[in-house]
């Protein structure tokens, strides 16, 4: 499985400093991308802190769900082998979709995983 994280982390940094310069999905706004990419980065950081391989895999599944929501795809079938990973992937996918919908209603990201002024 290939990962989009390096480019997403670069885009996360760009979104936090210059939100108007970010665009990933054609239907998503820069604010949606900024918030969602920050959440993806947060999951990535949690995976780096994880103490077990299994915890790393869970964080990666959740992160991939968020990425797939951003890219408007559903790869649930890839997680059928593990109910725990399927649950974490589905959680990321659903949270990503909710963040996108919420940003369409109120386009500002004030989540705790966004560091402002750093």
Q: Minimum mean pLDDT among 8-12, 64-68, 75-79: which range?
A: 8-12
Distance CA 57, CA 88 (A): 9
Longest dimension (CA), the chain: 42
Is residue 118 pLDDT above 50, yes or no? no
7 SS3 class: helix
| Entry pTM | 0.68
Is residue 29 pLDDT above 70, yes or no? no
Closest-CA residue to 91 (of 55, 57, 62): 62
pLDDT for position 62 = 98
Residue 111 lies in a domain: no
Across the chain, mean pLDDT equals 77
Average pLDDT, stretch 94-115? 74
pLDDT for position 74 = 97
Is residue 113 pLDDT above 60, yes or no? no
Residue 18 lies in a domain: yes
Residue 75 lies in a domain: yes
**Token reading at 108:** 């500002």
Residue 112 lies in a domain: no
Residue 110 lies in a domain: no
Domain hosting residue 87, numbered range: 5-105
11 SS3 class: helix
The count of structural domains within the chain is 1
Residue 45 lies in a domain: yes
pLDDT for position 10 = 53
Residue 113 lies in a domain: no
18 SS3 class: coil
Q: What is the pLDDT of residues 31-66, one digit of tens each?
A: 566 888 899 999 999 999 999 999 999 999 999 999
């Amino acid at each position: 499985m290939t990962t989009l994280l390096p480019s997403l982390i670069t885009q996360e940094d760009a979104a936090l400093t210059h939100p108007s310069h970010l665009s990933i999905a054609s239907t998503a706004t820069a604010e949606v991308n900024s918030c969602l990419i920050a959440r993806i980065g947060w999951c990535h950081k949690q995976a780096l802190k994880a103490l077990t391989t299994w915890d790393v895999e869970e964080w990666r599944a959740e992160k991939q769900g968020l990425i797939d929501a951003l890219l408007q795809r559903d790869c649930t079938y890839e997680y059928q082998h593990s109910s725990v990973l399927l649950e974490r992937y589905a959680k990321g996918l659903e949270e990503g979709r909710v963040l996108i919908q919420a940003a369409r209603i109120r386009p500002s990201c004030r989540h705790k995983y966004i560091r402002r002024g750093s």
